[in-house]
């Protein structure tokens, strides 16, 4: 037993010497390293766990939000209700400032340079990413932002007076074919997406009609009063259609509207045109994916609140959610589609 014990002791000593040799070689190796490299190495491994913890605890302070739109406008009010619900889930307030310069292109250009730490958000309609870059020079790229989610849908369509002879949009096209330039449609502004929709159809069908811009007057009254034949506009016409004083001939959305399931989209009619405004939340490029995912989840949950659904109905918005991955695809595809439409009109 004694001999066996000493043999084990001797083996333990040999193992200890080998381990000690390796430790000493490691120490000698570290002595050969640049001191600055050692410091950087230690800093990385001390700060990295703190970075992970910070993301897990996010947010720990108020979040700044730039709201692209006029204060008190429909888009601003919808956004504020959504964020007020999200605040309760995040336990931190949103500090909101409004900026609508350049139709949103100015605040987006500034926001592209914001710090990507999760404490800078922008809420914006989709137009500054999908439409405006095709009509004016902008100092940002869509890749400067990471989409978080979209929280609604605003679309447009073409309406006529309920007792008009045009029962379908094809009726309008055939009338214009036989009566060049006589069909008059009202728009809120020349060259806006609703005007582009009509220009695009005219180009495809080889017909002529006339536009009447009415930026300061309710264009619905021009239709009801018989001063124009039709209106191509956003959903300000919704209540008139529901009440039976106007007829909706076609919509510009990707899918039929829930309130008007029998009305065809432009795409169903054979025109590759979509005009949708998606209110969305963006963060600067470089924002950690964990933060983007958390914001997406929280804002989606906030959309389910009754008060949020009620305000969507108040402003005639459709309920639509897209998460950050699907929203990125939507923006890219719509940007290309709009560019193709404008090229066809100009050629």
**What's 238's domain CATH number?**
3.40.190.10
Specify whether 146 is located in the same domain as 159: no
pLDDT of residue 35: 47
Question: Is the model's pLDDT at 111 over the cut of 80?
Answer: yes
Of 135 and 264, the one with more pLDDT: 264
pLDDT of residue 5: 40
Look over the chain and give the mean of its residue pLDDT values, rounded to a whole number: 87
pLDDT of residue 217: 75
Specify whether 336 is located in the same domain as 316: yes
When pLDDT is averaged across residues 98-117 and rounded to a whole number, the result is 93
Specify whether 134 is located in the same domain as 76: yes
Of 165 and 12, the one with more pLDDT: 165
Specify whether 130 is located in the same domain as 193: no
Helix/strand/coil (H/E/C) assignment for every residue in the chain: CHHHHHHHHHHHHHHHHHHHHHHHHHHHHHHCCCHHHHHHHHHHHHHHHHHHHHHHHCCCCCEEEEECCCCCCHHHHHHHHHHHHHHHHHCCCEEEEECCHHHHHHHHHHHCCCCCCCCEEEEECCHHHHCHHHHCCCCCCHHHEEEEEECCEEEEEEEEECCCCCCCHHHHHHHHHHCCCCCEEEECCCCCHHHHHHHHHHHHHCCCCEEEECCCCCHHHHHHCCCCCEEEEEHHHHHHHHHCCEEEEEECCCCCECCECCCCECCCCCCCCCCEECCEEEEECCCCHHHHHHHHHHHHHHHCCHHHHHHHHHCCCECCCECHHHHHHHHHHHHHHHHHHHHHHHC
Which of 206, 236, 251 is where one domain is finished? Answer: 251
The two tokens of residue 156 are 């447009």
Specify whether 137 is located in the same domain as 182: no
Domain assignment present for residue 256? The answer is no
Q: pLDDT tens digits for 286-306? A: 999 999 999 999 999 999 999
Domain assignment present for residue 49? The answer is no
pLDDT of residue 34: 53
Specify whether 109 is located in the same domain as 192: no
Domain assignment present for residue 265? The answer is no
Contacts of 91 (CB under 8 A, 6+ apart): none
pLDDT of residue 102: 86
Specify whether 239 is located in the same domain as 175: yes
Which pLDDT band holds residue 189 (cuts at 50, 70, 90)? confident
What is the pTM for the complete model shown?
A: 0.79
Q: pLDDT tens digits for 25-72? A: 443 444 444 545 544 444 444 444 444 444 468 999 999 999 998 999
Which of 200, 232, 251 is where one domain is finished? Answer: 251
Range of the domain at 83: 57-153+279-346
Instruction: Say how many domains are in the chain.
Output: 2
Domain assignment present for residue 330? The answer is yes
Residues in a beta bridge with 94: 63
Specify whether 180 is located in the same domain as 123: no
Question: Is the model's pLDDT at 7 over the cut of 70?
Answer: no
Specify whether 115 is located in the same domain as 178: no
Domain assignment present for residue 28? The answer is no
Domain assignment present for residue 66? The answer is yes
Specify whether 149 is located in the same domain as 174: no
Domain assignment present for residue 261? The answer is no
Domain assignment present for residue 12? The answer is no
Q: Domain holding 70: CATH number?
A: 3.40.190.150
Specify whether 286 is located in the same domain as 138: yes
When pLDDT is averaged across residues 319-341 and rounded to a whole number, the result is 95
pLDDT of residue 165: 97
When pLDDT is averaged across residues 269-281 and rounded to a whole number, the result is 95
Question: Is the model's pLDDT at 152 over the cut of 80?
Answer: yes
When pLDDT is averaged across residues 4-16 and rounded to a whole number, the result is 39
pLDDT of residue 336: 94
Specify whether 72 is located in the same domain as 92: yes
pLDDT of residue 346: 85
């Amino acid at each position: 037993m004694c001999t066996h014990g000493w043999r084990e002791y001797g083996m333990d000593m040999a193992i200890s010497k080998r381990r000690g040799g390796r430790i000493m070689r490691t120490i000698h190796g570290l002595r050969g390293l640049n001191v600055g490299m050692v410091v950087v190495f230690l800093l990385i491994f001390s700060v990295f766990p703190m970075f992970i913890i910070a993301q897990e605890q996010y947010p720990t302070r108020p979040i700044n939000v730039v709201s692209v739109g006029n204060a008190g406008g429909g888009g601003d009010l919808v956004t504020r209700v959504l964020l007020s619900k999200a605040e309760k889930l995040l336990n931190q307030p949103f500090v909101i400032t409004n900026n609508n310069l350049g139709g949103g292109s100015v605040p987006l250009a500034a926001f592209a340079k914001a710090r990507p730490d999760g404490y800078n958000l922008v809420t914006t309609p989709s137009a500054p990413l999908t439409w405006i870059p095709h009509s004016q020079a902008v100092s940002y790229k869509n890749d400067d932002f990471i989409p978080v989610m979209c929280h609604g849908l605003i679309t447009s369509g073409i309406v006529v007076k309920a007792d008009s002879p045009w029962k379908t949009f094809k009726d309008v096209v055939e009338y214009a074919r036989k009566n060049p330039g006589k069909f008059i449609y009202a728009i809120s502004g020349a060259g806006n997406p609703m005007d582009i929709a009509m220009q695009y159809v005219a180009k495809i069908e080889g017909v002529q009609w006339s536009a009447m811009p009415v930026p300061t007057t309710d264009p619905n009254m021009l239709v009801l009063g018989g001063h124009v034949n039709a209106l191509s506009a956003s959903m300000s016409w919704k209540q008139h259609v529901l009440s039976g004083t106007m007829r909706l001939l076609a919509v510009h959305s990707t899918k039929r509207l829930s309130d008007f399931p029998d009305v065809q989209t432009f795409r169903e009619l054979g025109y590759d045109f979509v005009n949708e405004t998606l209110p969305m939340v963006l963060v600067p490029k470089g924002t950690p994916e964990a933060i983007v995912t958390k914001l997406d989840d929280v804002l989606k949950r906030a959309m389910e609140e009754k008060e949020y659904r009620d305000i969507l109905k108040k402003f005639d918005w459709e309920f639509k959610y897209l998460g950050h991955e699907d929203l990125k695809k939507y923006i890219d595809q719509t940007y290309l589609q709009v560019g193709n439409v404008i090229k066809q009109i100009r050629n």
